[in-house]
Amino acid sequence: MPADPRRVDLHIHTTASDGLYAPAEIVRRAAEAGLAAIAITDHDTVAGLGEALDAGRRLGLEVLTGTELSAEFPNGTMHILGYGFDPRHPALLSALEQYRRFRDERNPQILAKLAELGMPIRYEAVRAKAGGESVGRPHIAQALVEAGHVTGVDEAFRLYLARGRPAYVNRRRASPEEAIGMIRAAGGAAVLAHAGQLKRTMQEVRRIVADLATAGLDGIEVWHPDHSADDMRALAVLARQLGLAATGGTDYHGHVREDVRLGVGRGNLAVGYEAVEALRARLAARKP
Ligand code: MN
Ligand code: MN
Ligand code: MN
């Protein structure tokens, strides 16, 4: 039997978080690119899903609900992707609201520390730098440059804003187990995103994933533009060994990584429709 030629992209950002294109525009582009299914996975929000699902229905493109949650992980980045959940689930919505509060309360704390250090910056100046996207340290750094306290953004991080520096404030995040629990409580499948960004050896990744599987993890993002061919082979083996779904996507933002394109990453990423079927199988196995 010939292999299923259908291709999917299960990791895409829109204007609902830090992507360049609106959800409906992403769906239009995905349909044009001939993808069989996509998931919209904006950071810590489900705000773009209604528009994306509508556009998918209109254009006949399968759109899975999705999100990408930041979890607490020392000296590395851990993101947990959620798929196929109910985007109106009240517990999920209130947990996401709390996430947003965590993020919003951090910026004033950083500005208070900078003021104590003799560098008062107005929040309005920072917000102006963000130009509508969610406000964070890069924008505070730009405001510090503008006020003449540092010569560049790099220096602002090195002297004040980086972890361990005097104006650093830790952002409270959910634990990995809480992030997985939020997604599963809303009826979704939880997938470890870009294991390459954990900044651990493959041996350590194996142990971390095995622990997360015990906590309810449903899958691993095997195919991602940041993963080498060796990474992807090892992660596919790990998924198979642990009975987890193997998924993938381009982490498309429309900019940020200029060379990454929808559906194909840097030109060589091909995620098969089997990824969607594997997620469905995980969800079906949980139904009472
Ligand atoms: Mn992003
Ligand atoms: Mn991520
Ligand atoms: Mn992402």
Determine the distance separating the centroid of ligand 2 and the alpha carbon of 71, expressed in angstroms: 10
Determine the distance separating the centroid of ligand 3 and the alpha carbon of 41, expressed in angstroms: 7
In a domain, 105, yes or no: yes
| CATH code at position 106 | 1.10.150
**Closest by alpha carbon to 60, among 32, 92, 83?**
32
Determine the distance separating the centroid of ligand 3 and the alpha carbon of 240, expressed in angstroms: 23
- Whether 127 shows a pLDDT value over 90: the answer reads no
Ligand nearest to the CA of 80: 2
DSSP summary character for residue 161: I
Q: Assess whether 146 and 254 both reside in one domain.
A: no
Determine the distance separating the centroid of ligand 3 and the alpha carbon of 26, expressed in angstroms: 15
Phi, psi of 171 (to 5 degrees): -85, 125
Find where tokens 């629990």 sit. Answer: 181
Phi, psi of 7 (to 5 degrees): -115, 150
Angle between helices 176-185 and 90-116 (to 10 degrees): 150
**pLDDT tens-digit series, residues 90-125:** 999 999 988 878 877 889 999 999 999 999 999 999
**pLDDT tens-digit series, residues 218-239:** 999 999 999 999 999 999 999 9
Contact (CB, 8 A) for 62 and 88: no
Q: Assess whether 114 and 233 both reside in one domain.
A: no
Determine the distance separating the centroid of ligand 1 and the alpha carbon of 253, expressed in angstroms: 7
In a domain, 3, yes or no: no
Determine the distance separating the centroid of ligand 1 and the alpha carbon of 13, expressed in angstroms: 7
Alpha-carbon gap, residue 146 to 19, rounded angstroms: 26
Determine the distance separating the centroid of ligand 3 and the alpha carbon of 95, expressed in angstroms: 19
Q: Assess whether 100 and 83 both reside in one domain.
A: no
Q: Assess whether 274 and 196 both reside in one domain.
A: yes
Ligand nearest to the CA of 76: 2
Q: What is the pLDDT of residue 2?
A: 58
Residues of the domain holding 29 = 8-87+175-286
- Whether 80 shows a pLDDT value over 60: the answer reads yes
In a domain, 259, yes or no: yes
Q: What is the pLDDT of residue 233?
A: 97
| CATH code at position 31 | 3.20.20.140
Q: Is 60 left (phi over 0), alpha (psi -120 to 50) or beta?
A: left
**Which is more confident, 132 or 248?**
248
In a domain, 167, yes or no: no
In a domain, 129, yes or no: yes
Task: Identify the band that residue 136 occupies on the pLDDT scale cut at 50, 70 and 90.
Answer: confident
Q: Among the three residues 134, 161, 188, which one is the final residue of a domain in this structure?
A: 161
Q: Which residues, at least 6 apart from 227, have a Cβ–Cβ distance to it below 8 Å?
A: 194, 195, 196, 235
Determine the distance separating the centroid of ligand 3 and the alpha carbon of 262, expressed in angstroms: 13
Half-sphere exposure of residue 2, counting CA atoms within 13 Å on the CB side?
Answer: 3
Rg (CA), the chain: 20
In a domain, 136, yes or no: yes
**pLDDT tens-digit series, residues 7-51:** 999 999 999 888 899 999 999 999 999 999 999 999 999 999 999
In a domain, 1, yes or no: no
Determine the distance separating the centroid of ligand 2 and the alpha carbon of 118, expressed in angstroms: 35
Percent of the chain with pLDDT over 70: 97
Q: Assess whether 28 and 144 both reside in one domain.
A: no
Determine the distance separating the centroid of ligand 2 and the alpha carbon of 106, expressed in angstroms: 20
Q: Assess whether 222 and 267 both reside in one domain.
A: yes
Angle between helices 202-214 and 229-242 (to 10 degrees): 30
Q: Assess whether 14 and 61 both reside in one domain.
A: yes
In a domain, 18, yes or no: yes
Ligand nearest to the CA of 10: 3
- Tell me the C-alpha to C-alpha distance, in Å, between residue 96 and each of 45, 161, 172, 262: 6, 25, 13, 26
Q: What is the pLDDT of residue 236?
A: 98
Range 55-79 average pLDDT = 94
**Closest by alpha carbon to 223, among 143, 165, 278?**
278
Q: Assess whether 275 and 181 both reside in one domain.
A: yes
Q: Assess whether 15 and 114 both reside in one domain.
A: no
Whole-structure pTM value: 0.85
Supply 121's token pair. Answer: 């910056």
**Which is more confident, 146 or 74?**
146
Determine the distance separating the centroid of ligand 2 and the alpha carbon of 79, expressed in angstroms: 5
Strand 78-83 and strand 66-71: pairing? antiparallel
Determine the distance separating the centroid of ligand 2 and the alpha carbon of 42, expressed in angstroms: 9
Q: Assess whether 235 and 149 both reside in one domain.
A: no
Number of structural domains (the chain) is 2
